[in-house]
Amino acid sequence: MKIYEYLAKDLFKKNGIPVPQGYLAQSIEEAKKASEDINKPLALKSQVLVGGRGKAGGIKFADKSEEVPELFNQLLKLEIKGEKVEMVLLEEKLDVQSEFYISVVMDRSAKMPLIMASTEGGVDIEQVARETPEKLVKYHINPLEEFFPYQARDIAINMGVPNPLISKVGSFIWRLFNVFMKYDATIAEINPLVLTPEGLIAADAKLEIDDDALYRQRELASFETEKKDEFAYVKLEGNIAVIGNGAGLTLSGMDMLKLYGGEPATFLDIGGGASQDNIARALNLVLSNPNVKVVFLNVLGGITRADDVANGVINVLKDAEREVPLVIRLTGTNEEEGQRILTEAGVSYETSMEAAAKKAVEIAESL
């Protein structure tokens, strides 16, 4: 379960991690009230459950309260990686002197929590790991043993933190690890942890909770604000929309397209038990993307029935506002009935993912 930044910061604050003064706003009136209460230069931060909001223009800065309404409206018009901005966190703009990165993630290969920390905060940690790996400290924690403050200070020393800050940065690392364990998290992250004239403060907060542990986390039950769409959807840069029933199958379809020289325009996983309505909704979503020239529907029916897929496809084609070539790989449960429905409607299909992917690329290249 992903948690919005403002909620993660509430949890951090309750557990002794300093965060900026901030207020959540969903209307201009609330935004104005927040700016008056803070009465300092502001950071306006879109509240979305996806990464990359800064690069997408999802964070604005206002030096004067008069600038807030316009900036607030700009943010509410944004859609970041398919997620519409509906809430904005207004915070005091921090006077940043330096930035650090600290996180705790569950390392499934090692079967234990992994602390990662760096003096290179505020940038993609993947970039740090790739370009300056020596600046990224990694430290596994045995979950059956206590994690002591002195160990956190050792991590700060290995990061290269200046001597006056070692104890303070170590305290943040220790407290973040405790948050990770207390809430059954899969990731707890502060990026950046910033040094200001007033001290260290968590400028950002990321917290994701293990869904299988939510029965233990009664406090978080009301925080489950993520929209429970029946599929996962990500826009990409290509022109062939990829829809599959299962993340692995969808990714395999994307890989097959790349193998034949195509470029995916979407990753859309409709899940393992998709209904006719869900199929139709998924198709309508990708068809609304003007970059999509071809749709590659890759279905291997298990729980998902091939006849439901076929009926969902036919319903969309009847009412679609624009005609886009559709390439279907359809096999599995009730495949004969599903294939019959498509054939009677004059819609072609393939039973091989390789053949369907190749056909989709050929069509896209011919347009």
Q: Which of 64, 92, 120 is the last residue of a domain?
A: 92
Question: Residue 337 has which token pair?
Answer: 């009935």
Dihedrals φ, ψ of 116, to 5°? Answer: -125, 135
Residues 79 and 116 in one domain: no
Question: Which domain CATH number covers 44?
Answer: 3.30.1490.20
* pLDDT computed for residue 227 by the predictor: 44
Strands 22-25 and 88-92: antiparallel
- Enumerate helices (H) and strands (E) in the chain, giving the number of each: 11, 18
Residue 11 located in a structural domain: no
Compute the Cα dihedral for 14, 62, 84, 104 and give only its sign: negative
What is the model's pLDDT at position 224?
A: 53
**Segments of the chain with pLDDT less than 50:** 225-228
Structural domain contains residue 323? yes
Question: Does residue 292 share a domain with residue 307?
Answer: yes
Question: 5 lies in a domain?
Answer: no
If you search the block for the tokens 């303070």, which residue do you land on? 168
Q: Is there a single domain that holds both residue 356 and residue 252? A: yes
Task: Give the residue from 204, 222, 240 where a domain finishes.
Answer: 222
- From residue 39, alpha-carbon distances to 34, 107, 199, 331, 355 in Å are 8, 42, 20, 61, 62
User: Is residue 116, in this structure, part of any structural domain at all?
Assistant: yes
My answer on whether 130 and 204 are in the same domain is yes
Q: Do 248 and 341 fall within a single domain?
A: yes
Among residues 193, 222, 251, the one where a domain terminates is: 222
Record the pTM.
Answer: 0.63
Q: What is the pLDDT of residue 301?
A: 73
Q: Which pLDDT score, from 0 to 100, does residue 218 have? A: 72
Q: What is the CATH number of the domain that holds 349?
A: 3.40.50.261
211 and 288 share a domain? no
For residue 221, the model assigns a pLDDT of 60
253-287 per-position pLDDT tens digit: 999 999 999 999 999 988 766 667 778 888 888 88
**Which of 101, 139, 183, 349 is the catalytic position?**
101
pLDDT value for 71: 96
Question: Does residue 189 have an active-site annotation?
Answer: yes
| pLDDT score of 228 | 46
Examine residue 76 and state whether it is found in any structural domain, yes or no. yes
| Counted domains in the chain | 3
Question: Do 124 and 78 belong to one domain?
Answer: no
β-pairing verdict for 240-244 and 206-209: unpaired
Q: Are 242 and 251 in contact (CB under 8 A)?
A: no
Instruction: Please tell me the distance from the alpha carbon of residue 67 to that of residue 59, in angstroms, as a whole number.
Output: 14
Given the DSSP bridges, would you call strands 240-244 and 294-301 parallel, antiparallel or unpaired? parallel
Are 260 and 294 contained in the same domain? yes
Counted residue by residue, the chain has a size of 367
Verify that 155 and 236 share a domain, yes or no. Answer: no
Please tell me whether residues 257 and 341 are part of one structural domain. yes
Q: What is the CATH number of the domain that holds 111?
A: 3.30.470.20
Inside any domain, residue 2: no
Contacts 24+ apart (CB under 8 A), 137-146: 138/114, 139/114, 139/115, 140/107, 140/110, 140/112, 140/113, 140/114, 140/115, 141/112, 141/113, 141/114, 141/115, 141/177, 142/112, 143/112, 143/113, 143/181
Q: Assess if residue 227 is contained within a domain.
A: no
Please tell me whether residues 258 and 294 are part of one structural domain.
yes
91 is catalytic: no
Query: What gap in Å lies between CA 155 and CA 167, rounded to an integer?
Result: 10
Amino acid identity for residue 64 in this structure: K
186 backbone φψ class: left, alpha, beta (φ>0; ψ -120 to 50): alpha
Position 58 in a domain: yes
Q: Which domain holds residue 152?
A: 98-222
Residues 6+ apart with CB under 8 A from 45: 5, 53, 58, 59, 88, 89, 90, 91
User: Can the peptide bond before residue 197 be classed as cis, meaning omega within 30 degrees of 0?
Assistant: no
Q: Which listed residue (5, 189, 208, 350) is catalytic?
A: 189
pLDDT at 238: 92
Claim to verify: residue 134 and residue 217 sit in the same structural domain: yes
